[in-house]
Structure 1
Amino acid sequence: MAGIAWRPDLTDTLRKGWQHACHGAGGTLVLLGDAGIGKSEAISWLAGFIGTPARLVVCQGGDLSAPMSAAAGIAQALGDDHAAARILGEIDPLQAAEALTGALVDRGSAGPGAVLIDDIHDADPASVTALNLALRRCAPGDVLVVVTGRPVPSAEAFAEGFPVHRLRGLDADGAATLLHQSSPVPIAGHVAERLLEVSGGNPLALTHLPASLSPQQLAGNQLLPEDFPLTGALHTVFTAQLARLSPESREVLELAAVSADGSWSLLTALRPGAGGRALTELEEAGLAGLDGGRLVLSHPLLRNATVNRMPRHRWRQLNLELADATSLPEEVRLAHRARGTTGPDDALVDEIAEASWQLRARGGAEAAARLLDRAVDITGDEARRGRLRVDAATLLAAAGEAGAARRRLQDVLDDPADTQPRTTAMLRMATLEALHGEPARAWQRLQEAAAGAAADEQGVVYATMALPLGMLGMVGEVGRSAEVAVARSRPGSPQQAVARVILAHAVSAQNEARANEIVETLHEAIDPAALIEVDPLVGLHLGRAFALAERYDAAATHLTALIAHSRRMGARASLAMAFGALGETQVRASRFDEAMDCLDESIALSLATGQRAFAPFWLSLRGRVHAIRGDDEAAAHDFRLGFDISDQQSTFGARYFLLANAGLAALLAGRHADAVTHLAECWSFEQISGLLAPQLARWHADLVEAYVALGRSEEAGAVVAHLREVAQTPGASRWTAATAWRAGAICTVARDPAAALDMFDRAIAGYDPETDLFDRARTLLDKAQLLESGPEFDRTLADAQYAVRRLGAGVWAARLTELSNPHLGPAVVDRLTDVERRVLDEVARGLTNQQIATRLHLSPKTVANHLYRVYRKLGVASRTEAARHVLLGAEPVG
C-alpha cells in the first residue's frame, strides 16, 4: 500500500495496539494527517493484518448526512444491529453514546476485536459527539479502536486525551522509491527531483503525479508544466481520470458526490439503466466501489475533485433533484433545497426554522444548528440573517461545537448590518473564548461590550465576566464584577438571579464566614430553566456556593435539577459543567463513588464538547480520588493531562486546583519535597492574587504535613497560624475549624505529644462523621500512629478501619494493616509502597486480582502491575510465596 511500507514506526504502533487488545489492554488510537498522507492506507493495512476481527467504517457526507448515520455504521461494525437500529432513530448524541457504549462493552466481552474508523472529520457532527462520549465513558479491554482524521479543529478536539500518532510526509528515500514505483516509465533524475519537491512526501501525490505527465515529460525530453495539478489543491490529481469517464458514469459519480452517503438504491432510482454500466467503469478505473449498499469513493478527495469540476448550475440542479427524493429524511431534503435555491426564499427559511426547532426539541442541537446555517444565505432580511447566525451559534455552543459556533458569531461581529444581536454575539463569543483557553481575550471583549451595551444589557455582561476572571485567577475582580451585575440587573429577573449566584460563589470563595449567610437568600432564585437560558455554565457557581457553605445535599439537589433540564434540552455544555460541579460537591462530602461517576461524565463531556479549558478542574479532582484510592497510574495520567491543558491555555485558576490535588497525591506517595513544590505554589498564588477560603481547595493541612516531614517546622507554623485565624472568625466552616486543630497537632507531635493528642481529639470531634469522613479518617490514623498501643489505640484503629473501608482509601488501608499486623516484618514494610502492602494483604486473604481491584477501587491491570513489583521486591515467584510474608512473617529472599 502506498506509503505504509516506509512507515515502520506507524506499523509498529498499530501492531502493538492490536497485541494489547489481544491481552485485554485495548484502547483508542487517533491518526491525524493531511489529505493523501496515508491515513486510509494505514488502517486498511491494519485491517488486513488483523483479519476477520477487524471492521472498517468510512465516514462521509459531513453535516449533510442524516444525524447519527456514522454512529449507526459504527454500531453495525461492532456487531450490534439492535444498537444500530436504536441509533438510527435517535438524534440526541447522549442517547446514541449510551447505545454505542453498550455495543463497545458487548464487543469487548466477545473476545479481541478492532473497529477502524476512517475520516472522522467527514462524519455527521452528532455522530462525532456520540462516538467521542462513548470512547471516553468506557475502555473495553479487548477492543482496539483506531480513528483517522485530518488535523482540522473538529478532529483535534476529538483526539484530546487519546494517544495520537501524527502522520507526516515520507522521508526522502521512501518518497523516491514510491515515486519511481508509481511511474509506468523511468523518470529522469532532474524530473524526479522536481516531483519530489512538489509532492512534499505526500503518498497520494507521489502515486498520482506520474500519471499527470506524458512519457516524454517523465523522461525529461519535454518541458514540465509550470503548475502541477496538485499545486494548492491536492484533489486535482484525479482530474485526468475524471475526464476519461463516459458521460453516464460521470453523471452517477457526480450525483454520488453531491449526495450525503452515496446510497446505491437512491442513485439507481434517479439514474435507472445507467447503474450497472457506470459501476463497472468506476470499479475498473479504481475510482469507486459498492460497500454496504453505498457507492464508496476510492478517496475522500475524489468527492472534492468531482464537485469542483462541475458548473455551479449543475451542482444546484443535482441538489434540487435530491431534494425531491422522498426516501431521504426531511431535514436532509431541506438542506438540499437550500443548496439548490438561487435567491432569497424566506418561505423556505420558515420551513427550515420550524424543522430546526423540532430537531432541538428532540435533543438534536447539532442537526438543528446545521439546518439553521442553511437558512442564513437564503433569507432576504438582513436583521433576520443576524438572528439566524446567533441562534445557530447558540445551538452549536450548547451542543459543544465551540469552533463552529465561534465562526458564526464572528460573521455577525464582522457584518456592520448585524447591529441588533451584536451584544448577544459578543457575550456568546467571550464565553466560548474563555472555554477555549483565551480568558484574557474574553475579558477584553466583555469590557468592550459593557462600554456599548444598553442599560438593560449591562447586568448580564458583568455577570459573564466571572468566567474569564476566575480562569485568570483575578479573584477580587470576580466579586466586584458580580456586585455590579446584581446592581445593574432588573430586580427579580433571571439575569439578576444568575448574578446573585455568581456573587455567592465569589464571596464564599474569599470569605467562607459569609457563605451560609449569602446562600440562605438564594433558594427562591433557583429556576434551572431560567438560569441556564442566561448562563449555560451557571452550574459551577451554584454548586460551589452551596458546597462552600457545607450545604452538600442542597447543592446536589439543585445540580441534579440542572442536569435533568440540560439533558432534556440537549445542552451538553451546561451538562458538563453541572456534572463537574456535582462531582466536586461529592468529593467534598466524602462520597467518592458518586463523585467518580459524575467526574467521569464531566470529563468525557468537557473533552467531547469543546470545554477543554474546564477539563483540568475535573481531572484534578478525579486524580485526587485516584490517589486516595491508591491508583497512582490513573492519578498521574489525570494530572499530566490537566497540567498540559492548563499550561497551554495559561488558565491560572485551573492550575491552582491542579497544584492542590497533585500536592495531596505526592504527600500520600511519600514524596514530601514534590508535595511542598506543588502546595507552596498555591500559597504563593494566594499571596499575589488574594487569600482564599481554606475550604476552597483544601490544601493547607497537606502543606503543613509535608513541611513537618521535611523538618521545616517554622514554615509549617505560618500556615497553621493562617488556618487558626480563619477558623476563629465567626461563621467559619466546621471543616476549617477541625482542620486547623489537625494541622496544629501535626506541628506539635514532636515537641508535645500530649497536646497533639488533645488537638487530634478536637479535630475528630469537629469533623462530621459522614460528610467529613475522609479528613476524619486521616485524623484517626494520625492519632493511632501517635498512640501505638493500648485500649484507646484499638478503638481509634477500629474507627479508622471502618472509615477507610467506606472510602475505599487503599493508601490508608495499607498503613492500618501495618499498624494492626506487627508480624509483617520491617524488612518487608520498608520495601513496599502503601498500596503494594495493601495488595499483598488482600493476596494473603486469598482474593483474586479482580476481587482485589473491586475491593480497592483499582483496575485489574493496576493490581497486576503492583503485584509484579511486589514479587520482585520480595524475591518470590508466586502468590503463595508472597502471602507467606504476611501470614508467617517470612523474610524476603536475597
Structure 2
Amino acid sequence: MSAEHPGTEGQDVGSGQDVGTGQGIATDLTGRSSELDLIRAVIDDTARLGGSLTLFGDPGVGKSALLDAAADLADARGMRTLRAAGAQFEANIAFAGLNQLLVPLVPLFAELGPDHESALRVALGFGEGATPSRILISTAALSLLLLAAREQPLVAIVDDAQWLDDASADVLSFVARRVAGTRVRVLSTVRTTGEPLRARGDVNSLTMRSLDDAESEALLLARYPDLAEHVRRRIVSEAQGNPLALVELPATLASDRYPTADMLPAVLPLTERLTRIFTARIAALAPETRDLLLLLALDGSGQALSTESVVGPDAADHLDIAERERIIVVDSRHSVVFRHPLVRSAVVELARPEQRRRAHRALAGCRRADPGRRAWHLADASYGPDEEVATLLQHESIQALKRGDPSAAVAAMTRSADLSPDPEHRSQRLAGAAYFAAEVMGDLQSVSQLLADARRLDADVGSLATASAAASLMLYSDADVVSAFRVLTTALRAPGAEPTAEEVNAAIWVLSVIASLNGRKEMWDPYLELVDKYRDLLPEGLLVRSEVVSNPALVSAEALRTLDQEIATLTTELDPGQIIRVGYVANDVDRLADLREPLLRVWQDAARTGAVASVTNALMLLCAESYLAGRWDDTQRFAEEGLERAESYGYVNFVWFLHYSRALAAAALGQQDEAEEPLEAMLSWSIPRQAFIVPQHVYRVRTLAAIGRGDFETAYTEAARISPHGLEPGTAHQLQLFVAYDQIEAAVRTGRTEQARGFVEAMLRMDITKISTRWALLVAAAQGLVSEGEAANAHFERALAAAPENLWPFERGRVLLAYGEHLRRERATVESRVHITAALTIFDRLRAAPWAERARTELGATGVSRRQTGSTDTRLTPQELQIATLAASGLTNKAIGERLHLSARTVSGHLYNVFPKLGVTARAGLRDALTALTAREDPPIPDAPSPRSAASWWSSGRP
C-alpha cells in the first residue's frame, strides 16, 4: 500500500524537532517536516503502517539525509540500528547487500535453528555448501532480525536499494512485508531516475517531492547567509528544489567572481559531488549523442534543431536515445528540454574545452540566431583576443541596455573588454561597463574593480569613459561633489580629445547630476558651457534637460513641447535609464504624473533583476509623483523601501532625498516631529560635501511644517533662506519654484504684503504659468492673496478654473481655503462656507490635519459649529489599519515600530490620526472599533506592496 503523506501546514519548515522526546534530530532538513512525521509514525508504529517504508526520489533530493534523521530518531528511542547501502560495483555479487546489513548480528547466528543458521552462513559467505533456496534464506533473515529485537527494538536502514543485488533485494522485500506488529522496522530509499524499478511487493512508500522556491530560499539563507541575492535567485532556479544542488552549487559561484546576474555562466558549473550524481548515464552515451546534447545544452534558444547543418542528419535518432535514457524530454511541439537543469550542466561539464568551442562556433552559424546570441557564441568559441567579436559584444551591450536588461549590458561590455586586443580599447570598454554598473545596476564594488582594471591598462586616466565611471563612483558612494566635478570637466576639456557621442552623453548626464546637487552658479556655468561645446553630439532630450534643470522658471515653450513628446514615447520604452533621465526633467516641470506607469514598471522590473540604482531612482521619482498627487502614505512607503536599498548597497547620495521625501509627507500630514527628525543629519551630511541643494530641501520641509502649525514668521524665515528675494530670473531653481507660493502666503500673513506683491510680479514676469496647470493655479491664487475685493475674487476664480479638479489636490485645497478666508473677511458668509467646506473635504481625505483644523476654525468663524465640521472620512490607510490592529493586540509603540521597521514616533503619529477616525480616545477602544469597521468595509484595503508584488498591487486599480 502507499502511505498517505500526513499534512503539516503551519509547522516550522525543516525544524526537525522530535516532538515526542524533545531531542533535536536533523535540524537542517528544511521543508521535510511531513516526511519526518511519516518516518516517526513508522518507527513508533502510531499509525499501524506495517513497520516498513520505502522513500523514492531523484538523486540529491534528500533521501539519505532522511535516513540519517531516522537513525537519530531511532537512537533517541533507544533502538538498535543496522545499516546497509547498495553499490553499483556489487550489484552482481549475490547477497552482498544482505551481508552488509546482517554482519553485526553474526554472534546471534548460534541462537537460530540449524537450518536457518546454515542457510545464512552459506548465503553470507561464512560457510560452505550448496546455496540454499531463496525462501529459506529469507525466513532465516527475518528470524535473525526478530531475535535481535527481543532485547532492543531494531531498525534496518538500507540506502540506494536500486543498486542492491537481486538476491539481497528479494530477501529484504520479503522481510519488509512481514515486520508489522513486531519490534523490527525496515526503512529504505530508491533512486527513481534511470530504468523503471522492478516492483518488489506491496510496502508503504512515499515519493519525495522537490522543495518549493520558498523552502529553497530558506535553505540557502540558512547555509549561506552572505550569498548575493542574484546568485541565490539563480541557484534556486537551477536547482529546482533539489537540496543537494542547493547546498553544493554556492561553492562554485562566489559573489565576488560573479558580481551581477548576467556575469553568471549560462550553464552553472558543478561540484565534483554533483558531477558524479548527474553524469553517470550521460557518460555512457555514444559520442555523437553527447555532441548533440552539448549543442542543445549550449543553445538556450531552441533554434539549433531547425538547422540540419548544425545538428546533423541523424539528430532524431540521437534524441530518441537520449529520451529513452531519461536525459531529455521531447514534448508535443517537438521542443527539447532537459529533465533537470543540472543534467544540462552535467552535459557541459563532461565536454572538453575544444568540444565546447566547436559547439559554440556551430551555434553561431544558425540561420535564425539573433545578433546578440551570435556574438556570445563567437565569444565563447574564441581562443583569445578578437576585435571583431569584441565589437559585436560592445554593440550587444548597448542593445541590452536599450531593451531594459542592464545586467546583461554590464556582462557584454565586460566580456567585450576581455576580447579586446588593443589595451586602450579594453580600458575604454571596462570603463563603459563600470559606468553601466554605477548608473543602472548600483553595484559599486564592481565599479571600483572595473575602474581599477581600466586604469591599469590605460595610463590616460583622464579619458572620458573612465572619467564618467569614476565620477559616478565618487558621486554615489560618498557624494564627493567637488572631486567628481573636477574629474569630469577636466576630461571634457582635454585638448585633442575625440570622444564618441555615447561617451559625451554619459559624461554630460553625470555632470548635470553633480551640478544639480551643488546648485551653485560656479558649477552651473561650466556645465552649460560644456553642453554648448558638445551640442552637436548630444540628443535632444539631454539639451532639454540642460535648459530645464539649470533654470526651470525660464524654460521655453519649445523645450516643454519636446519634453512632452519624449514622455509620450515612454509607454513602450524598455530602457530604465531613459525613463529615469526623462523622469528627472519631468519632475522639475510638474510632469511626473505622466510617467507614473513607466516608473512603476522600472520599479517592478529593476527590483526583480537586482538593478539597485534603477529601482532606487524610480522610487525617488515615485516619491515626488505621489506627494504632488496627495498619496502621502505611498510617498512614505516608497521612501522607506528606497532607504533600505540605498543604505544596504552604499548609495549614500540617494539617502538624503529619500529622507526629505518622507519628511515632506510628514509635514503635510502634520506630523511635526517626524518631519523634523532627519533634517539636522541632512544638513551635517551635505555642507562638507558642498551638496548645497540639500539644505534648500531642508528649508522647504521646515517652511511647510511651520505653515501647518500656523507659525508664519518661521515659515517666511525658512522660505527666505531658499529665495531671499523671491524668484530671480537668473538663478531660479526648482526649490525656489516649489516654495514660491508658501513664501507669498507667509509674507501676507506676517504683514509683508508689499514684498509679497513683488514676489508675485516676478512670477508674472517669468511667465511660469506656462510650466503646468499647477503653476497656473498657484500664480493666480498668489495674485488673489495680494489683492482685495472683487479683484481678489476674480483671481481666485481664475485659479480654480486653471487646473482639473482631480489634479494637485493639496494645492487646490489650500487655494479653496484662502478663497474662503477672503470671502469671510468680505462678509460673503454663504459663499465662504462653500469654499471652506470644499477645502475641508480635501484636507480630510488627504489627512492634512493642520490644514483641516484651520478649515474647521474658519467654518466656526462663519457660524458653523465644531460638531457640524467633524470629519466624515473614517477610512483607515493600510498602514493605519496595520498599526491599529497591532496596538489593539496590546503591543507598545516601540514594539509595533520594531515589527514594521518604523520609529516609535511615527507609530504615535499614525495612532494620533487613527483615534478620531475610529471615534475612540484611548487604545482600550481600538478592538471594538476595528471589529465594527471590518463589518462595514468589504473588501479590506490592500497592504503596501513588496517589490515582488508591485505589478499586481498597482494593476489592481489602486487610485
Q: Normalization by structure 2: what TM-score?
A: 0.52
Aligned match of 1:648? 648
Aligned to 1:525: 534
Mapped to 2, the partners of 1:740 and 1:827 lie a distance apart of 24
Corresponding residue of 2:481: 475
Distance 1:708 1:323, change over 3 A: closer
Aligned to 2:470: 465
1:240 offset after TM fit, Å?
Answer: 5.9
Structure 2 vs 1, CA of residues 563 and 293 (structure 1 numbering), >3 Å: closer, same or farther?
Answer: farther
The one-letter code of the counterpart of 1:822 is R
CA–CA distance in structure 1, aligned partners of residues 453 and 318 of structure 2: 60
Cα 1:521/1:445, change in 2 over 3 Å? closer
Structural RMSD (CA): 6.2
1:193 to 68, 79, 101: 68
**Offset of residue 618 of structure 1:** 3.2
Superposed counterparts of 1:97-112, under 5 Å: none
Of 164, 176, 193, the match for 2:36: 176
AA at the equivalent of 2:591: R
- Separation in 2, partners of 1:311, 1:451: 33
Q: 1:620 touches 1:638 (CA, 8 Å); kept in 2?
A: yes
Q: Give 3-state SS (helix, strand or coil) of 1:288's partner.
A: strand
Q: 1:444 to 1:708 in 2, by over 3 A?
A: farther
1:474, distance to aligned residue in structure 2 (A): 2.0
Distance in 1 of aligned mates of 2:56 and 2:604:
50
Q: Any stretches of 5+ residues in structure 1 without a counterpart?
A: 13-167, 198-208, 333-358, 361-365, 533-537, 839-859, 880-894
| Contact 2:603/2:619 (8 A) holds in 1 | yes
Name 1:638's counterpart in structure 2: 638
Change (3 A) 1:469 1:268: closer
Deviation by residue 1:70-115 (Cα, 9 ceiling, x = unmatched) = xxxxxxxxxxxxxxxxxxxxxxxxxxxxxxxxxxxxxxxxxxxxxx
Change (3 A) 1:276 1:562: same
Deviation readout 1:795-842 (Å, 9 max, x if unpaired): 34423423442771234445667757836998995998334899xxxx
CA distance in 2, matches of 1:274, 1:501: 55
Which among 510, 515, 519 is matched to residue 518 of structure 2? 510
Aligned amino acid, residue 771 of structure 2: T
CA contact (8 A) 1:599 1:622 kept: yes
In the alignment, which of 270, 277, 282 is matched to residue 314 of structure 2? 270
Q: Is the 8 A contact 1:539 1:578 kept in 2?
A: no
Contact 1:630 1:835 in 2 (8 A): yes
Cα distance in 1 between the residues matched to 2:795 and 2:546: 33
For the Cα contact (< 8 Å) 1:784–1:796, is it kept in 2? yes
Match of 1:822 among 800, 819, 833: 833
How far did 1:721 drift?
3.8
Q: Which has the higher contact order (CA 8 A, sep 6+)?
A: 1
Q: Which residue of 2 aligns with 1:810?
A: 809
8 Å contact from structure 1 (residues 513, 731) kept in 2: no
Q: Secondary structure at the match of 1:304?
A: helix
Equivalent residue for 2:429, pick from 408, 411, 425: 425
Q: Are the structure 2 counterparts of residues 806 and 439 from structure 1 closer, same or farther at C-alpha, using a change threshold of 3 Å?
A: farther
Q: Give the conservation status (yes or no) of the 8 Å contact 1:289–1:296.
A: yes
The 5-angstrom pairing of residues 347-358 of structure 1 reads none
Matching of residue 580 in structure 1 with residue 566 in structure 2? no
In terms of Rg, which structure is larger?
2
Q: Cα offset for 1:771?
A: 0.9
Worse overlay, 772-781 or 246-255: 246-255
Shift of 1:643: 2.2
Q: 1:635: Cα distance to partner?
A: 3.5
Aligned to 2:118: none
Over 3 Å counting, the alpha-carbon distance change for 1:519 and 1:642 in structure 2 is same
Contact 1:433 1:439 (C-alpha < 8 Å) held by counterparts: yes
Residues 529-544 of structure 1 correspond to what in structure 2 (within 5 A)? 530-531=537-538, 543-544=545-546
| CA displacement 1:308-347 (0-9 Å, x = unmatched) | 45677877888788889xxxx4254xxxxxxxxxxxxxxx
SS where residue 183 of structure 1 aligns?
Answer: strand
Corresponding letter in the other structure for 1:481: V
Shift of 1:768: 1.3
Residues 302, 871 of structure 1: alpha-carbon distance in 2 compared, 3 angstrom cutoff: same
The separation in 1 between residues aligned to 2:571 and 2:496, in whole angstroms, is 29
Q: Structure 2 counterpart of 1:477, which letter?
A: S
Q: What is the match of residue 338 of structure 2? A: 297
Q: 1:434 aligns with which of 425, 434, 438?
A: 438
Q: 1:627 matched to which residue of 2? A: 627
> Quick check: 1:3–1:174 contact (8 Å CA) kept in 2?
no
CA offsets 1:659-683 (integer angstroms, 9 cap, x no match):
3333333333333333333555544
Letter in 1 for 2:845: D
2:602–2:618: 8 Å Cα contact kept in structure 1?
A: yes
For 1:589, the equivalent position in structure 2 comes to 589
In structure 1, distance between residues paired with 2:359 and 2:606: 39
Please say if residues 726 and 759 of structure 2, whose CA atoms lie closer than 8 Å, have aligned partners that are also in contact: no
Distance 1:177 1:562 in 2: 61
SS of alignment partner, residue 330 of structure 1: coil
CA distance in 2, matches of 1:523, 1:467: 22
User: What displacement does 1:522 show?
Assistant: 3.7
Count of aligned pairs between the two proteins: 635
1:493 & 1:254 partners in 2: Cα distance?
43
Report whether the alignment pairs 1:490 with 2:362.
Answer: no
Cα 1:222/1:650, change in 2 over 3 Å = closer
Counterpart CA distance in 1 for 2:355 and 2:739 is: 77
Partner of 2:704: 705
Q: Is the 8 A contact 1:519 1:549 kept in 2?
A: no
Partner deviation per Cα, 1:29-49 (whole Å, 9 max, x = no partner): xxxxxxxxxxxxxxxxxxxxx
Q: Secondary structure at the match of 1:802?
A: helix
- The code of the aligned residue for 1:525 comes to Y
In the alignment, the residues of structure 1 paired with residue 741 and residue 758 of structure 2 have an alpha-carbon distance, to the nearest angstrom, of 6
Equivalent residue, structure 1, for 2:230? none
Q: Residues 656, 429 of structure 1: CA spacing in aligned structure 2 closer, same or farther, 3 A cutoff?
A: same
> Deviations for 1:374-408, whole angstroms, at most 9, x for unmatched residues?
3533x5x6777776776665665666555455556
Equivalence for 1:664: 664
Distance 2:499 2:358 in 1: 50
- Output the TM-score relative to the length of structure 1: 0.55
1:418: how far off?
6.2
> Aligned partners of 2:792 and 2:322: how far apart in 1?
86
Q: Which residue of 2 aligns with 1:19?
A: none
Structure 1 residue 193, shift from structure 2 partner: 1.7
Q: Distance in 2 between matches of 1:636 and 1:2?
A: 52
Instruction: String of CA shifts for 1:6-63, please: whole Å, max 9, x gaps.
Output: 7847999xxxxxxxxxxxxxxxxxxxxxxxxxxxxxxxxxxxxxxxxxxxxxxxxxxx
Q: Residue 719 of structure 2: SS of its match in structure 1?
A: helix
Q: Give distance in 2, aligned partners of 1:707 and 1:740.
A: 13
Matches of 1:544 and 1:296, distance apart in 2: 52
Question: How far 1:871 sits from its partner (Å)?
Answer: 10
